[in-house]
Structure 1
Amino acid sequence: MAIQTRVTESSIHTRVLANLQRNISRGQQIQDQLSSGKQINRPSDSPTGTVSSLQLRGETRALQQYSRNADDGIGWLSTLDSTLSSSTTLINRARDLTVQGLSSGTNDTQSNEALAVEIDNIRQSLIGYSNTKYLNRPVFGGTTSGADAFDATGAYIGDTGQVARTVGNGVKVRVDVTGPEAFGSGTTQLFTVLQGIADSIRSGDSTALSDGLKNLDSAADLVKNTLSDVGARYNRVAQTKQSAEDRLLAVTSQLSDVEDVDLPKTIMEMQLQQTSYQAALAASAKVIQPSLIDFLR
């Protein structure tokens, strides 16, 4: 014998109101998504989506920082590149003057003095180049906190520390060059060599001038090799920056898939929800009678 379940007016009212409340809650959720443009407005909306969103946002911040680091590194390396290129031009001019000074038979004292003075000026210009700054830091000074890498006499006053930038996951690139690495040290330092050449031209010492020319060629080769190394590092940083930006676009797209709403689909769901709610209200009006008189009828 089947047991008949008695359905009371109270149970009908409770269930109808509960269903209407669920309908309203669903409509509110869709409205929240439309107004914010996001599928996830709180972790409870999608726990797995929240985890994915946090991971993707963390990767996005890391990639953005790598890109900023690369921009800073490119600034350092561009400054080094332009400075060393200008230095090479001056060194070539100094070499031409040195070769001219070796022709002592055709040069008088006044001509030699003019050659020496120009070499002195080139030396001072190169010392100025060696103190080139990027963001108020000497690019040839290592990690020094001082304002200059070389003093007025051409002596190195920086340190041997290295400046590096992290431009990728586990990718760190050096973005500086110390003064001795670019201009030499000791008796073969570029500024010392130029001073010796100027003195030899003034004194007419062709042997010392010939040795000075050899040292100048060695110093010029060091500057050129340094310039080549800077160019290689520049290319590496630029390529790594491009890779970071490409990856950032991909991560941004993935994050949009996780967080952002499909606007046409959500608008359609909203319209269906409104239609469903209106239909539920109409049906509830026939089930829940507002008065005792309507119930008795």
Structure 2
Amino acid sequence: MRVTNGSITARVLANLQRNVARSGKIQEQLSSGKQIARPSDSPTGTLTALQLRGEMRVTQQYSRNADDGMSWLSVLDDTLSGSLSQINRARDLAIQSQSGAATPLSREAMAVEVDNIRESLIGAANTTYLGRPVFGGTTTGGVAYDSAGVYQGDDGAVLRTVGSNAQVRVAEDGRDVFGPDGSNIFAVLADISDGLRNNDVTKLHAGMDNLSAAGDLIKSTLSDVGARYNRVSQMHDTAEDRLVTLKSQLSDVEDIDLPQTIMEMQLQQTAYQAALAATAKVIQPSLIDYLR
């Protein structure tokens, strides 16, 4: 094969162009911090990155659901704790009314306080989170109980998905907490108030027994809410830990090794300079250069 200055020049320029292209790719990686700029850079790496990003989005949603669930359960916990203290106060008033020092005037004052406790408990039963009653099931209404203490919600369950095949109930049916209509805590307090005004010992004793049962029901619900809160909190921590792992794996696939890439860039620049020097020796001056 005949070798001419033209063929030499073409080959040299093609080699130099390849060196420049490799330098440009490394510069692009350094400027972006990513080793995959387009799918053709690494088809398998691109597929892995897409799968990791999809799993990250799902895990982030689990974490957000857990945050929301913990907020619901915290509202339930605070409300139930406050309700329990008010029930204990009503029981104390009923017991106090049976002492020999109680008078019709003092019993009337106790009855008024019991009425206030009843109204306060109805207000607690209508506690809302983000505009939704936490004791009303899935109702879209603004209250779980009306002013007479009658349940206005439904029996639906508000659930939050906090993991793969893991759902947790974050709201309560008020009838499971305060008792069924007609014999709930509000009706019990109304009977105690009536017993205080009429000094009806039988009704007061029955009311105190019912208050004890209502308090036990709220304690049981409070314990269940605490257990669910702990579970949601653990699932939230698990999701956050998984996110850290996924981000690390995604970084291994997508991100460059900065020290190694800088070293490769320096080596490429050295190789390019050497190629230029070699080219200057290979392409010697032609006859035209001597005739100038």
Which TM-score tier does this pair reach, normalised by the shorter chain? over 0.9
Q: Please give the secondary structure, in 1, of the residue aligned with 2:147.
A: coil
Q: How does 1:231-270 map onto structure 2 within 5 Å?
A: 231-270=226-265
Mapped pair 1:183 → 2:178: yes
Q: How does 1:124-203 map to 2 (within 5 A)?
A: 124-203=119-198
How far apart are the structure 1 equivalents of 2:50 and 2:20?
30
| Structure 2 partner of 1:25 | 21
8 Å contact 1:188–1:219 — kept in the other structure? no
Aligned to 2:85: 89
Please report the TM-score for the alignment, with normalisation by the length of structure 2.
Answer: 0.95
Aligned to 2:5: 9
Name the SS of the counterpart of 1:165 in structure 2: strand
RMSD value over aligned CA atoms? 1.6
Match of 1:224 among 219, 223, 228: 219
Q: Distance in 1 between matches of 2:66 and 2:237?
A: 9
Q: Distance in 2 between matches of 1:64 and 1:172?
A: 16
Distance 1:290 1:204 in 2: 125
How far has the Cα of 1:11 moved from its partner?
2.8
Q: What SS does structure 2 have at the residue aligned with 1:157?
A: coil
C-alpha deviation, 1:60, in angstroms: 1.2
Distance of 2:28 and 2:175 partners within structure 1: 63
**In the aligned structure 1, how far is the partner of 2:146 from the partner of 2:173?**
14
Corresponding residue number in structure 1 for 2:277: 282
CA distance in 2, matches of 1:295, 1:167: 82
Gaps of 5+ in 2: none
Task: Compute the displacement of 1:236 (Å).
Answer: 0.2
Write out aligned runs for 1:36-51 (5 A).
36-51=32-47
Query: Is residue 2:51 matched to residue 1:34?
Result: no
Secondary structure, counterpart of 1:167 in structure 2: strand
Residue of structure 2 equivalent to 1:117? 112
User: Deviation string for 1:61-90 (max 9, x for gaps)?
Assistant: 111111111111010000000010000000
Note the C-alpha offset of 1:169: 1.5
Quote the sequence identity (%). Answer: 65
Structure 1 residue ranges without an equivalent (≥5): none
Residue from 50, 57, 63 that aligns with 1:54: 50
Quote the offset at 1:276 in angstroms.
0.7
If the length of structure 1 is used for normalisation, what is the TM-score?
0.94
- Equivalent in the alignment of 2:72: 76
| 3-state SS of 1:186 partner | coil
Contact 1:24 1:277 in 2 (8 A): yes
Q: Distance in 1 between matches of 2:93 and 2:286?
A: 114
Contact 1:66/1:244 (<8 A) preserved: yes
SS at match of 1:150: coil
Q: State the 1:8 CA deviation.
A: 3.3
Count, aligned residues: 291
Aligned counterpart, 1:64: 60
Distance 1:290 1:168 in 2: 74
Q: Is the 8 A contact 1:102 1:210 kept in 2?
A: no
Preserved CA contact (<8 Å) 1:289 1:295 = no
Q: Deviating runs (4+, > 4 A) in structure 1?
A: 289-292
